[in-house]
Amino acid sequence: MRYVVVIHKEPKSDFGVTVPDLPGCFSAGVTMDGALEAAREAIECHLEGLLKDEEPIPARSGADHHIKNSEFEGGIWAIVDVDLSKLEGKSRRVNITVPERLLKRIDKAARKVGETRSGFMTRAALDQTEHLD
């Protein structure tokens, strides 16, 4: 699942990262790459805490929703990809039936975004069910 983040850098400070769609989720890093990696870890930790507390994962709004917020003015917008399938608890192997033509489309789409078939299908299911909580 992709989360929009905002990166701020003040003189004599590390890169600070805010995740607008996850209130209270922040991180930082000495370098831009370090800040983005720290943001991924912070998002995973934040979401894991929500799941552990059986709270719903907030819906993602994206940059367009947040870009006019003065709190993020001057920030650098980036995307952090998080594999939620690792956070949902123990994985379980299931057998499903999917038309071959659809399976090829799923595999092509998964490769395009750099995911496995299972990861892609898990993310798609989470995207479609996150509003049901």
Task: Give the range of the structural domain holding residue 67, as residue numbers without chain letter.
Answer: 1-82
Tokens (6 digits) for 126: 């989470």
User: Do 121 and 56 belong to one domain?
Assistant: no
Global confidence as pTM: 0.67
User: What is the domain-level CATH number for residue 41?
Assistant: 3.30.160.250
pLDDT tens per residue across span 87-96: 666 677 888 8
Sign, CA torsion 45/67/121/130: positive
Q: Tell which of 49, 65, 82 closes a domain.
A: 82
Measured CA to CA, the distance from residue 12 to residue 8 in angstroms comes to 12
Tally of domains in the chain? 2
Helix (H) or strand (E) holding 111: helix 100-112
User: Do 23 and 44 belong to one domain?
Assistant: yes
User: Do 111 and 131 belong to one domain?
Assistant: yes
Measured CA to CA, the distance from residue 120 to residue 128 in angstroms comes to 12
Residue spans of alpha helices (H) in 53-91? 63-66
pLDDT tens per residue across span 66-80: 888 888 888 999 999
